[in-house]
Amino acid sequence: METLRAILSVLYQVMNVYFYIMIATIILSWTPLTNTKFFMVLKIITDPYLNLFRGFIVLSNIDFTPIVGILLYELLLRLMLSVI
């Protein structure tokens, strides 16, 4: 039981770091820094998840659906934390 709890704890920490990387990617996408290598690396890391939600809620060229992806991810993190 302790081994499972330790594995879940490490998984939670990794997922939490990924959450903040997603936030950074979304914030940087609103700036001129989208042409940097740093931003491209962040996009490579986060696009597999965020692309699942892109294009559903678009208002005047602004895509709000990554917010839905972030909210669902946060819900998953909270559920995982309640299990740990």
Residue-range domain boundaries for the chain: 2-83
Q: Is the pLDDT assigned to residue 57 strictly greater than 90?
A: no
Q: Is the pLDDT assigned to residue 74 strictly greater than 80?
A: yes
* DSSP bridge pairs for 59: 62
More reliable by pLDDT, 54 or 12: 12
DSSP secondary structure code for residue 57 in this structure: S
Q: 65 near 55, Cβ under 8 Å? A: yes
What does the block give as tokens for 20?
């903040």
- State pTM to two decimals: 0.82
Q: Give the E-state strand segments of the chain in sequence order.
A: 58-59, 62-63
